[in-house]
Structure 1
Amino acid sequence: MNSIVNANRAPRAVGSYPHARRVGNLLFLSGVGPRDPVDNSVPGNVNGPDGRLQSYDMEAQCRQVFANVRAVLEASGARWEDLVDVTVFLTDMQADFATYNRIYSEYFTDAQPCRTTLGISALPTPIAIELKCVAAIESAS
């Protein structure tokens, strides 16, 4: 089985790519950010009069990115517990890792996927975090 998944309850992609792609029992999620699926805003972002980002709320972004990952998983017929690998991109590792790590541990209690966290200089939109995930789904649907 090789199928493309676009989730109605997740924010639309910022480029020409699907939310996820299933190949056999593996589900590969495209990079998922913390944008709100209803209005495309970034929770906790504060912009100045010139429209430039002045500050952001890492906790709000973490909680929204996890909600968006869950929405893509569910649209794909997968569950949170099916995640086997999570790659995390943070735009400010020094400032945000502790907050991110604390919230991550709230969401991943029993299911413990492998995880890699990378500090990067920027993402394509004004977000501080993005997740790239792989899930293993037991039965083909």
Structure 2
Amino acid sequence: MSGHHGKRAVRTTGAPRPAGAYSQGVVAGGFLFTAGFGPQDPDTGAVPDGVAAQTRQVLRNVGAVLAEHGLSLKDAVKVTAHLQHLNRDFAAYDAAYQEFFEEPCPVRTTVGSELMDILVEIDVVALLPATDSPG
């Protein structure tokens, strides 16, 4: 064996369905990787106004994928966040983001990106419990 243990898709109705050829999440190598999620409500498709409300919905969407595999945002070790208006919205995004994490916080990269009619998109990498590691 070359150390490659395969990968498994994670699916939930608690987060928006993929809009293309990607999984909501993938378990591989002892981690759960999520897709980048926007702020769409998974039931209605509605997008809340403002970056703070959008950040909260995005993190609820990401959290739903983690929960499908028995994890939570507390298990996140890496967060990548994209903001449509980095300078304008960073403070409000960061304040809403902090509501979802506690020390030790995951590492985080926040960048300005061209997004599709949303203000924020976030993906995370979460550490699986040792007993859940493939092998």
Normalised to the residue count of structure 2, the TM-score between the two structures is 0.88
Task: Output the amino acid matched with 2:18.
Answer: A
CA-to-partner distance for each residue in 1:20-73, whole Å, 9 max, x for gaps? Answer: 0001311111111111101112112xxxxxxxxxxxx11110110111111010
Q: Which residue of structure 2 aligns with residue 20 of structure 1?
A: 25
> Equivalences for 1:42-53 in 2 at 5 Å?
42-44=47-49
Q: Which residue of structure 2 aligns with residue 131 of structure 1?
A: 122
2:66 is aligned, of 73, 84, 89, to: 73
> Equivalences for 1:88-107 in 2 at 5 Å?
88-107=81-100
Check conservation: 2:74, 2:102, Cα contact below 8 A. no
Normalised to the residue count of structure 1, the TM-score between the two structures is 0.84
Check conservation: 1:33, 1:127, Cα contact below 8 A. yes
2:35 is aligned, of 30, 35, 39, to: 30
Aligned residues: 127
CA-to-partner distance for each residue in 1:90-109, whole Å, 9 max, x for gaps? Answer: 01011100001111122112
Task: Output the amino acid matched with 1:132.
Answer: D
Question: What RMSD over aligned residues (CA atoms) do the two structures have, in Å?
Answer: 1.4
